[in-house]
Chains A and B, each alone.
Chain A
Amino acid sequence: MEPWGLIGAVRLFGLVAFSGIVASMSIASP
């Protein structure tokens, strides 16, 4: 992946946000 630059920043922001959202939802059990 590209560590820096606009595309890199958008990707990293998206992944960090996605990670936090997935984590908060992963506490639920089926």
Chain B
Amino acid sequence: MIGQIGPFVKGDQGGRRVLWLHIAGGLVGGCLAGVLLGTTGVALATVVGSPWQTVSALLLAAMSLVAGLADLGVIPFAPMRWQKRQTPRGWSCALGPEGSAFGWAVDLSLGVTTIVSNQAVLVVLAAALLSGGLLSAVLVMVAFGLGRAASVAVHAASAGDVNERSNAVDRRFDAYRLIGGLGSLGVALLFLLSEIAR
């Protein structure tokens, strides 16, 4: 994505406006995903009733454990590997630099419509679904959408060659997966311990 947005930012095809539209897309996509997952979660909580608090916390702990072990390479199972789709490059022709920058960010912020290499994303989606509240689901997914879009925007706007910058980010993939894996295990521990303490 850095390689796609970068030339727009550094050329004369939208400049900084492209960056802000990309970040706005992250916000909109995050809100949309949060409302969808949160509404589904509230419906589930209503159906299940009072056991939902414990069931949802333990489910999230279990999913975080699986995602963490998958990212750390301990288990070969990768639940988020089913999606192979990427954001369409053709949007830059159909929608122009500004429209595509916005659309790509919305697409990426949904978390499930594009390929995901990091299993920790499963924890984010599960957290929004199982939070049992619309506000908490929106907050979690907005953090995801904004984090993803802002990260791309910062790298695309920084000095130097865009492709080199993109390659430098990709070289950190293994380190990022390690951090994500350990973080997922941390989430599993947090929910397990807090459920015992409650």
Interfacial residues, chain A to chain B (CB-CB below 8 A): 1-3, 7, 10-12, 14-30
Contacts and interface: CB of A to CB of B under 8 A. Distances in A.
Contact of B191 (A11, A21, A26, A30): A11
16 contacts: A1-B57, A12-B140, A15-B140, A19-B127, A20-B146, A23-B124, A23-B151, A25-B151, A25-B172, A27-B2, A27-B151, A27-B152, A28-B118, A28-B169, A28-B176, A30-B173
Contact of B143 (A3, A11, A20, A27): A20
B179 A3 contact: no
B187 A14 contact: yes
Contacts, number: 118
A7 B192 CA distance: 12
A26 B57 contact: no
B121 A22 contact: yes
A14 B58 CA distance: 16
Interface of B: 1-2, 53, 56-57, 60, 116-118, 120-121, 123-124, 127, 130-133, 136, 139-141, 143-148, 150-152, 155, 169-170, 172-173, 176, 179-180, 183, 186-187, 190-191, 194, 197-198
